[in-house]
Amino acid sequence: MQQKGLDAYRQQAGNQRDVLVKQHLSLVKKIVLHLASSLGSNISRDDLLQAGMMGLLDAASRYDPGRKVPFEQFAKTRIRGAVIDELRQWDWRSRTDREHGQKIRKAIQALNTKLGRAPAESEIAEELGVSLERYHRMLQSSNSDNLLSLDGLMQGEADSKIIEVNQDDSIEVVAMGGERSRALANALKELPEREQHLMNLYYVHELNMKEIGEALDLTEARICQLHRQAVLRLRSLLEEWNRE
């Protein structure tokens, strides 16, 4: 009798898992496309989708309705984590890509100290000794520094809440738990207004780069540049915070 009861429980749990997976297949695609939109074309989205599916299966197996957390909310964390873990195992970045990101971060850090504010793009280009067009190309190729975006910046503080939307649809930077999350919250406040708005659309409203471009009347490529620049600004500010 005990074995039959155990078998029945396993069957019920398996059925529940299968239903949850079937109902949330589109969530995997949405999360993968959202993350991939800022990474360029040098990645296999099929591999990311497979990793996301593994995250969904893991979420469905571990989900406990008794904790009163909506499954979609629970699954999002597992799916994003699985996709990001997959990305961390890749290394398509060239040496030049890495150098571009490092040079831009150092230029931003120097200008932050010198100007006491977030530098304009033209000022960053001047600090690097390149034209604005060349700087934009450097940003375009520096996706290695943009790989994990805020997810990477907040590694180890998964329960921290960083940004939310006010009633007037403006971005509000908040932090709950962790010194690093508070430092990131302060860094987000120092971004230029347009970049704060972009981060709001990407991380809060979960729009992809193409959708953000349509909302801001800019090309998708330009939005990717601005997003990478914002992440590099944040990295430079966090590096300063780490030194302090």
Q: Is the domain of 116 the same as that of 153?
A: yes
CA distance 49 to 244: 40
- Quick one: 116 and 211 in the same domain? yes
pLDDT in tens, 10-21: 445 557 788 889
Question: Could you tell me if 81 and 168 lie in one domain?
Answer: no
**49 and 32 Cβ atoms separated by less than 8 Å:** yes
119 and 31 fall within a common domain: no
At residue 53, does pLDDT exceed 80? Answer: yes
Neighbour count for residue 74 (Cβ, 10 Å): 18
Q: Which range marks the domain in which residue 77 is found?
A: 2-88
Domain count, the chain: 2
CATH number, residue 194: 1.20.140
- The pLDDT tens digits of the residues spanning 139-194 come to 877 654 444 445 555 444 443 444 443 434 334 444 444 666 677 778 888 899 99
Residues ≥6 apart with Cβ < 8 Å to 9: none
